[in-house]
Chain A
């Protein structure tokens, strides 16, 4: 309602307000104005140009592999540098699966922590806890990797052997409990994306207008009812944005996951089996690759590029639709 009346009224007022300024300092202010416009447009265009150039370069260098393997590259599982036969499926599966596992763990913990920090926690806990969360985001990925190798992987082994002893009828838990595994990869990614999801979700929840909160409490809602209803609903698109950011980090993460995922061959459904991701394959093999292997690796990079674009586009779409629905409801 308010927005509508505002939109109708101002055009004339704005135009008349602009006129005198133009007349007074015409040349200089006009120059600054158009310079500002073109300057910022140039920077924005630069971002677009860089993205297009990266895609083009990846496509160009992967051409030999694209010609040799075509779309089959995406679905076959052989990666044999000796025979020069390459297929990307284990790496695609590894990237998607490890990121999915990471979200599965990090979303409930992250959003839960955010709700606690923004709505429930006593004041004296809020600052130190928030600080710890942000500190987690600043830890370099190789440090996470080292911690993974020295602490997490050995700690996972007894748990995994328990799983394989008692639940080996489930295909997810079949195999030797070696520690280095898809499970370890998903776990380390979860820890790494947790601070992003928590910190952004907390800000979004804090930004929910206090009137919403007060209205809910005024109607007799409990904490739980107020949070699950109005608060999380208004913060929903922001929280999804936070999750997407976490997912983007998980998809591209290289160092830490390479150190714990085991770099095994083949796509294996078991979480105890070693796996591989697109980015870790690139990091591992690029330095010593030659000939067809280089273009196959470039093809992998192109696939990773494609996956991140698709995931981001899907996320945008989700947020857009949600915002639209919310707008309709209001």
Chain B
């Protein structure tokens, strides 16, 4: 079932890219199309929304937008072109909404033509995957992970790792460290975490969608990184959904409460819950290293970006309806695709923000 939706989604995005090639001019033609194809579901509303941005939430967004079209008849074209490109398109107003894994900084927000809202949609976790055939249930903590990526820990049986894993037999294998070679929200999340747990990482490397890695091999995309992780002694970071789909082993990571927590949709939602106080003040607040015994420490939201004041009131109404639907019905689909649903408190915050769209 999942395979099927993904396949259909890929086709849809291919069509979306072809159709949206010329921007707004194509809109009328698309509306004509959606009128006929929507015959299987609800009657067409005649409105078509377009969005562009992050690749990380693409599987769930394509599922949402399929289901939404069946339920409400409004077609949504989403192009997973990358967060950066999505923000550029939103800025140029060639799309109705953008999507990004990293929230916009204050400076970037000021550069947008008018006020932009961040709507967190789902949360994801970054997991540390490894390739040691005889090792199950590896445990790591933040400083150790940072030291590995700084090149200070070179072998798997290093005393620092052994100290965290009493009872495990670690091999005398050197690390083959994998990182993303392309800019990505995953890297943004992971380097932000390393910055938070290691002062040395903060001064030497810093955080961002792409950084100057001190050591390791770069792989393009999650699949490229997975390829490198599958080398002997491989170690790297990928999204939880990706690790699960590819059957990679991944480590439990020590959280703020001193507990080793395995990454999962539940422990990611727990992280969102643990960071609720900060998120209430600003939805852009990071949720890594959140409080709570069950919270997985390397987690983050992915956001839909929308203008508070949209040019076309009809589209504003359609987008509001879509986002309300996503909060109510969409969130329920998150776990089966291994995304973490938002805690109820955050859904309430989102509903308020969505209502303010005009």
A residues touching B (Cβ–Cβ < 8 Å)?
Answer: 78-83, 149, 153-154, 157, 176, 178-180, 258-259, 262-265, 274, 276, 280, 283-285, 287-290, 293
Q: Are the CB atoms of B220 and A288 closer together than 8 Å? A: no
Determine the residue in chain B with the shortest Cβ distance to A255: B220
Closest to B55 in A: A287
Q: How far is the CA of A63 from the CA of B334 in the complex (A)?
A: 45
B181 touches A287 (CB 8 A): no
The answer on a CB contact under 8 Å between A82 and B207 is yes
> Which residues B3-62 have CB closer than 8 A to chain A?
none
Whether a CB of chain A sits under 8 angstroms from the CB of B206 is: yes
Q: For chain B, what secondary structure do more than half of its interface residues adopt (helix, strand, loop), or is it mixed?
A: loop
Contact between B83 and A288 (Cβ–Cβ < 8 Å)? Answer: yes
A263:B81 contact, CB within 8 angstroms: no
Which residue of the partner chain, among B176, B209, B213, B228, contacts A288 with CB atoms under 8 Å? B209
- What 9 additional pairs, Cβ within 8 angstroms, besides A263-B219, A287-B81, A290-B84? A81-B183, A81-B209, A82-B207, A157-B232, A176-B176, A263-B181, A288-B184, A290-B88, A293-B210
Please encode chain B, from 206 to 225, with 1 for each CB lying within 8 Å of some chain A CB and 0 for all others: 11111111101111100010
- CB within 8 Å of A: which residues of B? 81-85, 87-88, 174, 176, 181-184, 205-214, 216-220, 224, 227-228, 231-232
CB of B174 within 8 A of CB of A176, answer yes
Task: Known contacts A180-B228, A288-B182; decide if A80 and B82 are in contact (CB<8 Å).
Answer: no
A265 near B217 with CB under 8 A, answer: no
CA–CA, A274 to B181, complex, Å? 12
Partner of B212, one of A81, A157, A289: A81
22 A-B contacts (beta carbon < 8 Å) = A81-B208, A82-B208, A157-B231, A157-B232, A178-B176, A178-B231, A179-B231, A180-B231, A259-B224, A262-B217, A264-B218, A280-B181, A283-B182, A283-B220, A284-B182, A284-B183, A284-B210, A284-B218, A285-B210, A287-B82, A288-B183, A290-B88
User: What's the minimum C-beta distance from A298 to chain B, rounded to whole angstroms?
Assistant: 15
Q: How far is the CA of A262 from the CA of B205 in the complex (A)?
A: 19
A287 near B227: Cβ-Cβ < 8 Å: no
Chain B proximity of A71: nearest CB distance (Å): 21
Contact for B182 among A83, A274, A287, CB less than 8 A: A287
Alpha-carbon separation in the docked complex, A179 to B219 (Å): 13
Q: Give the contacting residue for B217; candidates A81, A274, A285; CB below 8 A.
A: A274
Q: How far is the CB of A83 from chain B (nearest CB, A)?
A: 7
**B53: min CB distance to chain A, Å:** 11
Q: Does B183 lie within 8 Å of A83, measured CB to CB? A: no
Q: A10 to chain B: closest CB distance in Å?
A: 55
